[in-house]
């Protein structure tokens, strides 16, 4: 890791790590832990990170219980860790779900056939089953579905957008850990940061 000497360095490091995580599936932070206000946690693939942190984007099933909990605005938290760099990033913000419109449509258009196939499940996530199953129709299990086969999946697809309002950057160093916190009232406002004791 490059030496972080200022709060701006720490903020730049957060931005670089989250943007890299959205672009590179091998990034340690590509699948952060995402928490909702009910205390439930799950790992989700980070699909996009705006350069100014105005939004992080994740994909989800519109039938998922978290979609109902988040709706058009609810607290969401994230946790990512890079064990090689020894960097932990925690973040909080306001999440909202979009099932239609330009953002959801563009996200759907940019998804691979295999990613879209997930939304063909015959029942929503968390539905009880008598045996271990994917929930996918037998006709698409284990194959790359055709465009026509994927058409019904679109109605089950949604995006989770998270507008960040708080960041916590922690570097675990042998000679002494370093930690910085950042906050802002609204996503359009500049970040205000301070060093804190780890």
Instruction: Give the model confidence (pLDDT) of 74-95 as tens digits.
Output: 999 999 999 999 999 999 999 9
For residue 112 the two structure tokens come to: 């691979």
Q: For residues 176-197, give the mean pLDDT.
A: 94
- Residue 92 is assigned to a structural domain of this protein: yes
Q: What is the pLDDT of residue 82?
A: 97
E strand spans, the chain: 33-36, 41-43, 48-49, 56-61, 74-82, 87-98, 157-171, 178-183, 192-196
- Residue 181 is assigned to a structural domain of this protein: yes
- Residue 138 is assigned to a structural domain of this protein: no
Structural domain boundaries, residue 173: 7-103+158-196
Q: For residues 155-163, give the mean pLDDT.
A: 97
pTM more than 0.85: yes
Each residue of 167-183: pLDDT tens digit?
999 999 988 999 999 99
- Residue 48 is assigned to a structural domain of this protein: yes
CATH classification at residue 192: 2.30.110.10
- Residue 80 is assigned to a structural domain of this protein: yes
Each residue of 16-26: pLDDT tens digit?
999 999 999 99
Cα 46–chain centre separation: 4
Pairwise CA distance, residues 72 & 68, whole Å: 9
At 2, the pLDDT band (50, 70, 90 cuts) reads low
Q: How many CB atoms lie within 10 A of CB 49?
A: 24
- Residue 119 is assigned to a structural domain of this protein: no
Q: For residues 104-108, give the mean pLDDT.
A: 97
Cα dihedral 56, 57, 62, 68 in deg (nearest 10): 0
- Residue 32 is assigned to a structural domain of this protein: yes
Pairwise CA distance, residues 93 & 5, whole Å: 26
For residue 54 the two structure tokens come to: 């105005």
Pairwise CA distance, residues 58 & 185, whole Å: 22
**Does residue 11 have a pLDDT over 80?**
yes
**Does residue 1 have a pLDDT over 70?**
no
Q: How many domains does the chain divide into? A: 1
Q: What is the pLDDT of residue 188?
A: 85
At 51, the pLDDT band (50, 70, 90 cuts) reads confident
- Residue 74 is assigned to a structural domain of this protein: yes
- Which DSSP helix (H) or strand (E) runs through 179? strand 178-183
Cα dihedral 133, 135, 141, 144 in deg (nearest 10): -140
């Amino acid at each position: 890791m490059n030496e972080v000497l200022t709060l701006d360095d720490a903020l730049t490091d957060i931005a670089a790590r989250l943007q890299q995580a959205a672009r590179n599936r091998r990034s340690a932070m590509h699948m952060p832990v995402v928490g909702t206000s009910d205390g439930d946690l799950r790992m989700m693939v980070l699909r996009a990170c705006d350069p100014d942190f105005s939004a992080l984007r994740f994909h989800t099933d519109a039938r998922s219980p978290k979609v109902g909990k988040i709706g058009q605005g609810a607290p969401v938290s994230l946790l990512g860790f890079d064990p090689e760099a020894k960097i932990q990033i925690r973040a909080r913000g306001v999440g909202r779900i979009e099932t239609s419109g330009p953002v959801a449509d563009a996200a759907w258009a940019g998804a691979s056939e295999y990613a879209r196939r997930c939304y063909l499940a015959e029942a929503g996530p968390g539905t009880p089953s008598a045996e271990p199953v994917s929930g996918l129709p037998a006709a698409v299990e284990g194959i790359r579905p055709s465009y026509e086969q994927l058409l019904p999946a679109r109605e089950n697809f949604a995006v989770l957008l998270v507008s960040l309002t708080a960041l916590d950057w922690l570097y675990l160093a042998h000679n002494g850990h370093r930690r910085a916190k950042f906050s802002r009232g609204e996503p359009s406002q500049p970040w205000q940061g301070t060093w804190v004791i780890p």
